[in-house]
Structure 1
Amino acid sequence: MGKIRTRKILFVVAAMLLCVLVAVLIRLFFSNRIVRMTLTPIEVEVGEAVHYADSTRNAGSWLWEFGNGDVSHERSGQYVFKEPGRYQVRLQVDHSLEKKQIVKVNRRANNYGSDQLVKIEAPVTAFQGEIISFKGYGPSREWRWQFGESGIVDSREQNPLYAYSEPGRYEVLLTTEET
């Protein structure tokens, strides 16, 4: 009776180990690898470092493209953008897997000069359909924004949002009661 019980226990343990082994093999050979890219912070001022890293399972090579022609082949590091704008950072792992993320680089904060001048803060470039934040600074009470796409006043808010429906180069015009 004791030998039968021992054999049953050994059989159950062997079956469990076999199931675990099969599960591990299935995961190794049939699961999709996911790029595990980290960029922090994703909004900086010119001259501030963006830290980048990758923790993709079993990765052997990396190609980081920073959206301005600069590249890195390191697994992790930091990068400093020299110009304001929006940059699409692309990571390619093992020449086949890739992931992209946008980093926004703002001009260094300042006091915008004279208190009597009206100034605009907005990105220099944007993607078609992307919602863009425009900010007006100055002593004005009335704001009239023309974003160059419609030919009319598009907004009367001090800090409007706008998305261009067509690609192209646009001139933004801001007028106030004083200009």
Structure 2
Amino acid sequence: MNIKNKTVVILLLIVAVILIVVALVFPFNKKISNLDFSISDENDNHQYELNEKLSFKINDNTLISDKRAVWYFGNGDSIVSNKNVEYTYEKTGKYLVTLKIDNKFDFSKQINIVNGRRMTARDSIPKIFCEEFGYVGEEIVFTSYSPSSNNWYWEFGETGTIDSYEKQAIYVFSKPGVYTVKLETDKTRYPITKEIEIFQLYEPFKEPEVVDSAGIVINDIKKRLQIIANLGTKDAKAYKEQVNYIKRNYICNDLSDVVVVVNEEKYNDFLSYCQGLHYLDGNATIIQDVKLDTIKCFKQINITQKTKKTK
């Protein structure tokens, strides 16, 4: 065999080796590129829910039948399997599901796990949340709870028209009075109503420029509490005016956050104390002394009181 023939043989052998490598490697890569997986939910409502069994299905298992595959669920859990698997998430959130082949090829999809509580007819009945009373010129927040609703129509009783189309509305009343707030949604047949009482805005409290400013504040609060005690049980409006006056001028937090210590042995929050003083004890109570932890924005008030002697 001359040199020319030997060269031809060597070239043919090189070409054969290349063809074998291409036949073995390239088809595999081509098949792997066609690999995919789908995710289906158990109740078939097309959303992935908390504690629901989900199925992860490979489009063609034969593509990786002889390969090592690992499913990663984005929360630290994994399953080693080159077949279809099932998995249940125990926490809501967004996760990246990844199928990894031979530790080389990754196929990923994002999944959003939601709280899957099913809506009932009760969820279509809206509820109105707002303060029971407010003041002229004050921004009052009205919120609705109705998860199945998409449209909201608020009427606050002052303009005679729809005042807001938002789920959470803010309104400022221009006149005092009792107003009927109406809310309709795309799920209601008739409007839902709730009353709110609007009072005239009091002048902001100005600390008197006197030495005994604490005494003036204490005497003022003591006087207001005595008025509450002396009011008849039907004088709800006057009762609210006195409570609102104290809140407006001296309290910065919710009334339920202020601690009341009565005669150094009984305890209430301020709102419950005022309600009991008005509706339960009434004219039988005399307010003797009041002590505050601070003049402005007090969080604790110590009250000394006694019961009138009956003849």
Where is the helix percentage greater, Structure 1 or Structure 2?
A: 2
Which structure has the greater CA radius of gyration? 2
Normalised TM-score (structure 1): 0.49
Normalised TM-score (structure 2): 0.31
Structure number with greater CO (CA < 8 Å, separation at least 6) is 1
